[in-house]
Amino acid sequence: MNRSKFVGSLIGLAIGDSLGAQSEGCFAVEIIEDSISRYTDDTAMMIGVAESLIECHGLNAEHMVKKFLENYEKEPWRGYGAGPPRIFRMIKQGAKWDKTLDKELYPDGSFGNGSAMRVAPIGLLYQDDPNELREAAYKSSKITHSHPLAMEGAALEAYAIALALKEEEEFLDKLIGFTTNDVYQRKLECIRKLLPKKQNKREIVKELGNGVEAFNSVPTAIYSFLTSSSFEGSLIYAVGLGGDTDTIAAMCAAIAGAWWGVEKIPKRWREHLENRKYIEDLAENLWNMVSNG
């Protein structure tokens, strides 16, 4: 198993997050290429997922909740969406973390992309068993995003990363075969017909979306990855779609980094990334867990 791909996925995610955050809602990318550094809640929560998986030698949802709370309280200014901090406050006030607290805020639970944006470490750790991967992605999602569309979005992003580690030639076909949800099935099928039209970004956004909903961003991140033969090309394309750029770029770059490895991420982006060494260490610990069985 290639260490570079593990590091590439987590470093890629953080770079995509940082780069995308500077162009939120824009279609232009030229303004953000010269300097990136500070990441947002996307990376902060990914770090919490990785820390918990490493400390518990696998998924322990209760421990992951504690990590999320701990990291949020250290850095509440990371740009968290409205939902998770409210859930964290409920837990601090005595609510049970496993009672789908997002349904207190949204009747059917949240279908935002907040669980998909942070799921990369699960894709790395559970790469060899799609069923285990799905179960772990669902459980990690349910902490803050219990709607089936959010949970399936997290599982799909994690599986895309698992496939990228192996440079799976039937990448899109495997994703279509993996998803159990009609909404994602349709969007993934749509990707195939849209790939030749990648220059028409407005059509891409119309068909796949670029919003904060998981079903309007996970397929878009996957599409962005597939548009280019380089990490840089995929990420710039993702940012150029506008909308929820930090999260779409983060999810795209987590897949791209797993495919091409950290050496293929431009040095000008890597060397300015905040907490780069710590994120690299987390990736290496996950790699050691998989390599050592």
How many structural domains are present in the chain?
A: 1
Which band of pLDDT confidence, cut at 50, 70 and 90, is reported for residue 36?
low
- Fill in the amino acid letter for 44: A
- pLDDT tens per residue across span 256-288: 999 999 999 999 999 889 999 999 999 999 999
Using alpha carbons only, what angle is made at residue 105 by residues 99 and 109, rounded to the nearest 5 degrees?
A: 60
H-only helix segments in the chain: 3-21, 41-56, 61-74, 83-92, 120-125, 130-142, 148-165, 171-178, 182-194, 201-208, 218-226, 231-240, 245-260, 267-270, 276-291
67 neighbors 52 (Cβ within 8 angstroms):
yes
What confidence score (pLDDT) does residue 174 get?
A: 97
Please state the rounded mean pLDDT for residues 31-47: 78
Whether the per-residue pLDDT at 35 is higher than 60: the answer is no
Helices 218-226 and 245-260 meet at what angle, rounded to 10? Answer: 50
- pLDDT tens per residue across span 109-141: 999 999 999 999 999 999 999 999 999 999 999
**CATH number of the domain bearing residue 27:** 1.10.4080.10
Cα 146 → chain centroid: 16
Q: pTM, whole model, 2 decimals?
A: 0.95
Domain that holds residue 34: 3-291
Backbone torsions φ then ψ of 187, nearest 5 degrees: -65, -40
Dihedral angle at the C-alpha atoms of 62, 281, 17, 139, nearest 10 degrees? -20
Give the count of alpha carbons within 13 A of 170, CB side only.
Answer: 5
Measured CA to CA, the distance from residue 1 to residue 10 in angstroms comes to: 16
Overall residue count recorded for the chain in this entry: 293
- pLDDT tens per residue across span 166-220: 998 899 999 999 999 999 999 999 999 999 877 788 999 999 999 999 999 999 9
- pLDDT tens per residue across span 60-116: 999 999 999 999 999 999 999 889 999 999 999 999 999 999 999 999 999 999 999
Which structure tokens are listed for 38? 């500070």
Whether the per-residue pLDDT at 2 is higher than 60: the answer is yes
Measured CA to CA, the distance from residue 68 to residue 45 in angstroms comes to: 6
Which band of pLDDT confidence, cut at 50, 70 and 90, is reported for residue 24?
low
167 neighbors 259 (Cβ within 8 angstroms):
yes
User: Taking the CA atoms of the chain, what radius of gyration do you get in angstroms?
Assistant: 17
- Fill in the amino acid letter for 108: D
